[in-house]
A and B are shown apart, each in its own frame.
Chain A
Amino acid sequence: MGSFIRLAIRQMDVQFRMRVLSLWSLGLYYIQPAIFSAVGMLLSRAAGNSSPDLVYTVVGAGMMGMWSGLVFTSTYDIRTDRREGTLEIIVGSPTSLRRVEGLRTLLNILAGLSSLVVAVLAAVLIFDYSFANVNIAGTILALLLILLGLWCMGVFLANFLAWSRVSGTVVDLMEMPMAILCGFMFPISVLPGWLQKVSGIFPIRWALEGMRDAMNGTPLAQPLIIKLLISLGLSIAFLLLARWFDGKVHDHIRVTGELHSI
């Protein structure tokens, strides 16, 4: 356990200095969500809408920051490792790639969480948004489930990057569609019926719905709890899928020699 904690601290330290402290990350975590947030709020205000729509834009902008940060940093990590030759060093060590990726993804999500904080601050300070009716317990619980859902999906998707150089493109292409499918900026109800069903497999969609409900004052009762439980169940399913996939990836890359890019 001690060695795991030391690895976690070291991994996060390396990750923080290699990825988070960069101009690129600044744009990814703060500037891009701020633009989303401002445009959404201006549109909402122009349409004469009240606070429930602001919840969409505030939380949605924060989610965009977290999700984009997760997709790009996690994909970039493995690509860089593959290009720099460090992927071979990691895979050839007694520590599993799954563990390394899990820790990296965790830091990427925690760094992305600051996007949500910035979006909320922008809503309060610039757009006079009030949190008077917020169900704090429900919001915190939903936020934790969003983080869990993002982490489980992140470790699952990281396997695509490790699988081959080409398959990582699939993950890149998921950035915007996921924002739509999980209702980051718009309610799921505006999507066609079949797309709503597709969106149902993603844990963050349910946790996000729960968070918005809680932020709009919905009590921590049956409808909200069910959404949160669905999110939890789907997160666990993604985690199990990631674990199964990880074993396949470990064998696959050692058969194909896809550990390095030169």
Chain B
Amino acid sequence: MPVQDHVPAIITTSLSKTYKTKQGFWKRTTKNIEAVRDVSFRVEKGELFGLLGPNGAGKTTTVKMLSTLLIPSSGSISIFGLDIMKDTREIRKRIGFTFGGARGLYGRLTGIENLRYFAELYALPPEVTRKQIPELLELVGLTGRGDDKVETYSSGMQQRLHLARALLHDPELIYLDEPTVGIDPVGARELRATIKELKSRGKTILLTTHYMAEADELCDRIAIINRGSLVALDTPYALKQLISHESVIELRFSAAHSDEVNQVIDSTSISLKKTTIESNGQKSMEIRTVESGEIIELLSPLLTSRVIQSLEVHNQTLEDVYVAIIQSGEK
């Protein structure tokens, strides 16, 4: 089926998924659980799109619908212009997916045997498989371990083998559902480097993660999902601006200079909020303001004269934004 080049990689329109669960033994009752509710977004080709949300928010359900493993209760999904319900097989050829954790591999087979088996499910020609497997093992840092049984791999190695499996058929669109969960910091950093490498190769990636720093570092745009609904969608920078333009200035100075510092700060008409803590003759002050530049300029003579020993400026992190959005949803 010909696919137009200008179409987005993913379009979801009013996507919903309701599970029915039966409870009770003698008196069976059916309970509906709305896992995803009216979610609409689009992901452009070559974009690295993040899907964030707390546990049970509906991220994995959304990814499973996008990867044809679940049928939406309502709404529609288009992948490269193909309909998820009608063109299921064609879509499966063009997507790759990994779900977090160590599941999804045959532990009694070696890494290479796993990859060979899954390659056959994608009907890859033998010459492609022969070329792809060593390259992918190198890409995910498993060169030299391919002949070991997967049950001897660490969880980080299994995660990396998952990624290699998802890339076997060179998919254009890759879903990575919590790819760094359970991986040590070094392994996680290597995996993030691999994800960046994939993006640089033009792959479209949809990433779900709990790690805000990871999303901030990797994603072009981020959607935050809570209780099945999409509550925010923008670039990491714009999301950080969304909550507040406020910055936090942290000062450290001797208690002996307390009056001097307070005098300078109180002399300004700039709107700010200050909190001071004293410990062992040292004072630390936190100033929250949207006009951090002006405040720093005001304090610079005190810095030069070493009245202020240190000054640090913190901007809102994605985690601050995430927590604020999720908490406002809880209220």
Residues of chain A whose beta carbon lies under 8 Å from any beta carbon of chain B: 3, 6-7, 10-11, 14, 17-18, 84-86, 88-95, 100, 251, 254-257, 259-260, 262
Contact = CB atoms under 8 A, between A and B. Distances in A.
Classify the secondary structure of A's interface with B: helix
B56 interface: no
B117 A14 contact: yes
A18 B106 CA distance: 9
A11 B119 CA distance: 11
B117 A93 contact: no
A231 to B, nearest CB: 32
B: interface residue count bin: 20 to 34
A86 B71 contact: no
Contact of B99 (A11, A17, A88, A257): A88
A84 B71 contact: no
Contacts, number: 83
B121 A18 contact: no
B113 A259 contact: no
A88 B121 contact: no
A91 B68 CA distance: 9
A3 B129 CA distance: 12
B108 interface: yes
Interface stretch (B89-97, B242-250, B260-268): B89-97
A93 B104 contact: no
B108 A18 contact: yes
Given A257-B19, A257-B70, A84 B105 contact: yes
A86 B125 CA distance: 22
Nearest to A88: B69
A85 B99 CA distance: 9
Contact of A92 (B67, B103, B113, B126): B67
Contact of A93 (B71, B113, B122): B122
Given A90-B121, A92-B97, A94-B121, A14 B69 contact: no
Nearest to B19: A257
A10 B120 CA distance: 7
Nearest to A81: B106
Contacts of B69: 88, 91-92, 254, 259
B31 to A, nearest CB: 14
B104 A89 contact: yes
B70 A84 contact: no
A100 B106 CA distance: 15
Contacts of A95: 120-123
30 contacts: A10-B116, A10-B120, A11-B117, A11-B120, A14-B106, A14-B113, A17-B108, A18-B106, A84-B104, A84-B105, A85-B99, A85-B101, A85-B104, A86-B103, A86-B105, A86-B106, A89-B104, A91-B69, A92-B69, A92-B92, A92-B97, A93-B92, A93-B118, A94-B93, A94-B121, A94-B123, A254-B71, A256-B19, A256-B20, A257-B61
B165 interface: yes
Contact of B121 (A93, A251, A256): A93
A128 to B, nearest CB: 42
Nearest to B124: A3
B321 interface: no
B300 to A, nearest CB: 57
Given A7-B121, A92-B69, A94-B122, 14 more contacts: A3-B123, A7-B120, A10-B120, A11-B120, A85-B101, A85-B105, A88-B64, A89-B104, A89-B118, A93-B92, A94-B92, A257-B61, A260-B103, A262-B103
B107 interface: yes
Contacts of B165: 89
Interface in B69-110: 69-71, 89, 92-93, 97, 99, 101, 103-109
A99 B106 CA distance: 19
Interface in B121-138: 121-123, 125-126
A144 to B, nearest CB: 27
A133 B269 CA distance: 113
A255 B103 contact: no
9 tightest A-B CB contacts, nearest first: A85-B103, A85-B104, A93-B121, A3-B123, A10-B120, A7-B120, A95-B121, A254-B71, A94-B92
